Structure 1
Amino acid sequence: MQAVSILTVPGLGSSGPQHWQTRWEQQHGCRRVEQRDWDQPVCADWVAALEAAVAAAPGPVLLVAHSLACATVAHWATTTARPLVGALLVGPADVDRREQLPEVSGFAPMPLVRLPFPSIVVASTTDEYVTLARATAFADAWGSRLVNVGALGHLNSTSGLGLWPQGWALVQELLHSTDQQK
């Protein structure tokens, strides 16, 4: 079997040098899905960039999305015919909240349809961009397993996760579950 390409899909503003996604790229060889504009996102553009990245990746693909990128993956899943090994969806920003950042309004409404690939939603009890109840609703709608990691904020650089081995273990779980299906 061909090696799985693991693509990181950062959210608004991308992921800086201390973010676990950046560290995974450095430590584990993950590749970043690049967006033309990280600060003024356009949903259709982000979905198109994700489609192009998945198409260009060698072998099967697993996505690791954070924040607004979770909405990007959900939108992409409704339009693509490309298969995925799975997706880790971390701290999915609730794009339907009225008090949300105006930059993300073009991603509403959040698609609430079952994803056609295995997925895990990781949520924190203290995330300022999504309540645990809403993250649970996303996981239920997407057919994802929910992992509640406790009071870790938005699961970003300021959460102090470092290399975040617990998250990498979830990636390995997704890879292993795919191996078991063969």
Structure 2
Amino acid sequence: MRSESIHYLIVPGWQGSPAAHWQSHWQRRLPNSARVEQADWQNPLREQWVAELDRSISSSAEPVILLAHSLGCITVAHWAVQASADTLERVQGALLVAPADVQRYNCPDALRNFAPIPSLALPFPSLLIGSDNDSAASASRARQLGQEWGSETVILNGAGHINTQSGHTRWEQGFAYLYRLQDRILQQIRRTA
């Protein structure tokens, strides 16, 4: 899969991804990448975030791979259950990193309007990366979301929320998971060709 023929769409979570975040590093490194820009990163509203993701996907001339983090993962799940068939077909796969469990007891109030989390399988290949010490989603909850979404799931040891606070600024090893997802996408394309 040639990266030049793919549009990488970065889907940040709550409060966005600052310049030191791995998503920002990846945006600088990956050819043909862009970021979903939400109007309000501090007070996210599910309908607005999903609509902006839909607009960003619809405006791409190339097939899209979503690179989502935290609340961005939940936004992808909500988008997938209500997107049109034409728009869904544009997405070839999704890398879902450290999904935020907006149904957990200690979830920040600003994120609660994203609950409940859709439990339907995503209609494209996905790879979910969680951590065994992520305060936003336990390892068991990440596995459950992965199972419900039909995602291949990997739980990292001691990776926290896989963000700048947990030391994941460049997250070069994360590219291995992106390549693994792209291999899954190619396998699916070959099976359906």
Please indicate the TM-score interval, normalised by the length of the shorter structure: over 0.9
Could you tell me which of 153, 162, 178 is aligned with 1:171?
A: 178
1:28 is matched with 30
- Write the distance in 2 (CA, Å) between the matches of 1:108 and 1:50: 18
Moved more, 110-119 or 76-85: 76-85
- In structure 2, the residue matched to 1:76 is 79
User: What TM-score, normalized by structure 1, do the two folds share?
Assistant: 0.96
CA offset at residue 174 of structure 1? Answer: 1.8
Where do 4+ consecutive residues of structure 1 move more than 3 Å? Answer: none
CA distance in 2, matches of 1:36, 1:64: 19
Q: Which residue of 2 aligns with 1:19?
A: 21
Output the CA distance in 1 between the equivalents of 2:49 and 2:165.
24
Task: Identify which of 20, 41, 48 aligns with 2:51.
Answer: 48
SS in 1 for 2:179: helix
1:155 aligns with 2:137: no
1:8 matched to which residue of 2? Answer: 10
1:85 maps to which of 73, 86, 92: 92
Q: Which amino acid aligns with 2:47?
A: A
Shift of the alpha carbon at 1:58? Answer: 2.1
What residue number does 1:111 align with? 118
Give deviations 1:67-96, integer Å, cap 9, x for gaps.
011110000000112221100000000011
> Does structure 1 retain, via aligned residues, the 8 Å contact 2:14–2:41?
yes
Query: What are the ranges of 5 or more consecutive residues in structure 1 without an aligned counterpart?
Result: none
Q: Deviations over 1:109-145 (max 9, x none)?
A: 0001111000011001110110000000000000001
Matched, 1:95 2:102: yes
Tell me, what secondary structure is at the counterpart of 1:122? strand
The one-letter amino acid of 1:166's match is: Q
Alignment: residue pair count: 182
Pick aligned residue for 2:130 from 120, 123, 134: 123
Q: Hey, what does 1:60 align to over in structure 2?
A: 63
Aligned to 1:141: 148
Distance 2:179 2:61 in 1: 19
Task: Report the secondary structure of 2:123's partner residue.
Answer: coil
1:98 positional shift: 2.7
Q: CA RMSD in A?
A: 1.3
